Structure 1
């Protein structure tokens, strides 16, 4: 778990500070890791232990070998799903506007349709913000992905709304039919669904989204949990490294391939 070269590569990539811990005893190593990182990282450490153990079992029992990025992605995906598991439809504190809202895992679209997920992120220290938009088919395969990066200081709600607007324009230009467009920003999804006019830059983007949706009878906008939007979040976070790029499966960076495959299982 701590001396295997493959495991060490996983730890070094996920927790660069682990390189300074020198011991072969797992209990001692974990104690030092917990002392080195804050308690909000404990679950990440334990989950990566679990993912490494599962990868080890795959090698021993099924002769299946994995890659570092895939093991790390599986740990993050499992943890996100676990965190969302306590949320049930009986909760009276949280009500969705549409019955299909609130998916906690990514679900493949029906045959002859496309699912587009969108996410946004802020790079406050760089005074930039980025978008990730990912389209996949009924087999969970990547149709195309789009990344954009902008300069400026804006609110997260504005960027999330801008992402939905960009996705709607992209879908229209592609001529795709029967599309489900998903965002993990409930506030923006609800703002687009309501009819309140807002006199602001955010309100203008929301109005543009409403107009695009009215003009199309084949696009439905849904809210999903962050745990169902892992892949697109990865694209958004990488937008400053791949600004204004469009990918298909033939040229997608390997760092995204494992996330897509894991989320499509």
Structure 2
């Protein structure tokens, strides 16, 4: 709908792969949701590997397994949620924030406001997703 409830951009050091970065972002987002005591949450990702790992009932023994297992615990702590896949073309806000954090080392969060740096992409994402 084009509304921004919260956003954050945070650099991560010592990340070895795109999958690890996607999982670190998921873990940080889940912790944010838990700390805000939000429920009835829609969680979207354009990374099929993350979605598959989080929906698996098997313990993840890979090099990113500890992050996956943390995320599974955090997902269970949220009372009502929908974890789903979305197309990359409608995930522009996440990509913009990730890029800004990685290039400019921005480390910030916004609650109940839309940061100027994502307003255009938020609008584009909301128009494309319908």
**TM > 0.5 fold call:** yes
User: C-alpha separation between the residues in 1 aligned to 2:114 and 2:83?
Assistant: 28
Question: 68, 71, 87: which is aligned to 1:225?
Answer: 87
Residue 209 of structure 1 and its aligned partner are, at CA, apart by 1.0
Structure 1: stretches of 5+ with no match in the other structure: 1-107, 109-139
Q: How does 1:18-167 map to 2 (within 5 A)?
A: 108=1, 140-167=2-29
Deviation digits for residues 84-119 of structure 1 (CA, Å, limit 9, x no counterpart): xxxxxxxxxxxxxxxxxxxxxxxx4xxxxxxxxxxx
Q: Which residue number in structure 2 is paired with residue 54 of structure 1?
A: none
User: C-alpha separation between the residues in 1 aligned to 2:57 and 2:46?
Assistant: 20
Q: Which residue number in structure 2 is paired with residue 256 of structure 1?
A: 118
Question: 228, 236, 245: which is aligned to 2:98?
Answer: 236
1:247 aligns with 2:110: yes
Question: 42, 51, 62: which is aligned to 1:180?
Answer: 42
1:211 aligns with 2:86: no
Deviation digits for residues 124-151 of structure 1 (CA, Å, limit 9, x no counterpart): xxxxxxxxxxxxxxxx221121011022
Instruction: Give the TM-score normalised by structure 1.
Output: 0.44
Q: Which runs of 4+ in 1 moved over 4 A?
A: 248-251
Structure 2: stretches of 5+ with no match in the other structure: none
Residue 162 of structure 1 and its aligned partner are, at CA, apart by 1.3
User: C-alpha separation between the residues in 2 aligned to 1:155 and 1:248?
Assistant: 29
Residue 215 of structure 1 and its aligned partner are, at CA, apart by 2.4
Instruction: Give the TM-score normalised by structure 2.
Output: 0.85
Q: Which has the larger radius of gyration?
A: 1
Aligned pairs, how many?
Answer: 126
